[in-house]
Each structure stands twice: as C-alpha cells, then as structure tokens.
Amino acid sequence: MIKQLSVFVQNEIGSLAGVTSVLKKNMINLRAIASFDTPEFAILRIVVDQPEKAKELLAEKGFAVKMSEAVAVELEDKPGELDGMLHAIADAGIGINYIYSIVLRNGKAPLIILNTDDLTKTSTVLKEKGYIVAEQEDLIT
C-alpha cells in the first residue's frame, strides 16, 4: 500500500498552485495528482515521495490535509490491462471509490491508484491474480 494525501482547497484561482508551491519549496516530488471539485472547494488527492513531511508542511500553511492508504498497481501499457484488473476487483465483490494514475515513472510501468471498500482484500486479490502491487518505497525513485 501507499500513502496519499487528500488536500482540501478553495475552488478559486491559484489554490492548487498554493499546494504545489509548498511542495516545490521543500523539494517534495509530486508523483500523482487528481482533483475532484465541488462548487465551493476541491479535494486534491496527491501522491508524493515524502508524505509525512508534505502533510505537516501543508497543514502549517493552513490547508486541511488527511493522509490515507491506497493500493497502487503496476499495469503493462497494452490494451485490456485496466479492464482485467477492474474485473478481478469486481469479481472479488470489492467496490471502487475512486481511481487515478501515475504515468511517468522513469521507465517503469504506470501505476493505477485505487481506493476501495477493502484495501487489504484488494491488494491480496490483485497479488493472487499476478499483479504487482507497489509499496511506498517504489515511489521514491
């Protein structure tokens, strides 16, 4: 499993740049980002190489930040890979809450980030089906 941060930001011009500026200033590498918005605010989900440090720094700057776990799965870059993984999860009776990806990984396979109803079961099922489930250390380089 990996750690992800959910950062709550105002839905206004420059709010996302406020988050990335904190990361840049502190040499924290952003690995994945997804934004889910509502009329008043957005939930920015990010995966970084130093999640604890990023959480602390963002909170110091006044951002509401929550750290949680997610499953990160390597997929080959070929047709049908995502479909196969999604069917493995569905066949195990697991619901997916949201999904996003890390595409660029210095020559490594892309990662799909998942939040499900049961992260431990999701990880186990995917490993049993032959998928490579990444750990936090896999995001550093």
User: Taking a C-beta distance cutoff of 8 angstroms, is the pair 135, 1 a contact?
Assistant: yes
User: Could you give phi then psi for residue 75, rounded to 5 degrees?
Assistant: -125, 140
Instruction: Please give the single-letter amino acid code of residue 17.
Output: A
pLDDT band, very low/low/confident/very high, at 128 (cuts 50, 70, 90): very high
Q: Burial of 65 by CB count in 10 Å (0-12 exposed, 13-18 middle, 19+ buried)?
A: buried
The percentage of residues in the chain with a pLDDT greater than 90, rounded to a whole number, is 56
Domains in the chain, CATH or no CATH each:
2-68 (3.30.2130.10), 70-139 (3.30.2130.10)
At 66-81, the pLDDT tens digits run: 999 999 998 887 899 9
Average pLDDT, the chain: 89
Both tokens assigned to 89: 């999860």
CA gap 44, 77 in Å, rounded: 26
pLDDT surpasses 60 at 119: yes
- Whole-number pLDDT of residue 141: 57
- Whole-number pLDDT of residue 106: 67
pLDDT surpasses 70 at 47: yes
